[in-house]
Amino acid sequence: MSLKKIAVFPGSFDPITLGHVDIIKRAIPLFDSIIVAIGTNAAKKYMWTLEERKEKLEKAFSDYPNVSVADYDGLTAAFCKEHKAQFILRGLRNATDFTYEQTIAQANQKVNGVDSVFLICSPEFSYISSSIVRDIARNNGDISLLIP
């Protein structure tokens, strides 16, 4: 019997963007199961509620039975262990993202035994970030071309 390959795609998803959707859909063939994990941080102020973020994610992946959505507090690696996930899935838009993610990935592997898998964002989504979408939304701009 082979071990199921389970990946966790963590983030705040405040909001989910087309970049997130791109990474998750491209990762589907690589894993038996992907858990899109909404991290919660009491100290952080979110623009959308946890329920709204969860609902958007569930709607975006309703046609993909091997993609599930969950929320969690605490360390991502602890969430991975709890759900028997061997991988953390991350999307990279640029070298800055890689530099930031590299140290975290190395620590997660060394301390928790969870490997990180990086996918490079498709070029048409490389400029999109949740913070840019929030800024546009805060200023009454149209975000419809950036989110699912």
For 2, phi then psi, to 5°, come to: -90, 150
What does the alpha-carbon distance between residue 145 and residue 17 come to, in Å, rounded to a whole number? Answer: 9
What does the alpha-carbon distance between residue 111 and residue 2 come to, in Å, rounded to a whole number? Answer: 25
Has 25 been annotated as catalytic? no
Has 44 been annotated as catalytic? yes
- Which of 53, 90, 93, 116 is labelled catalytic? 93
- Residue-by-residue DSSP string for 10-74: EE--TT--HHHHHHHHHHGGG-SEEEEEEEE-TTSPPSS-HHHHHHHHHHHTTT-TTEEEEEEES
Has 130 been annotated as catalytic? yes
Tokens of 8: 């966790």
What does the alpha-carbon distance between residue 81 and residue 131 come to, in Å, rounded to a whole number? Answer: 29
- Which of 44, 45, 110, 138 is labelled catalytic? 44
Has 20 been annotated as catalytic? yes
Q: Which residues are catalytic?
A: 20, 44, 93, 130
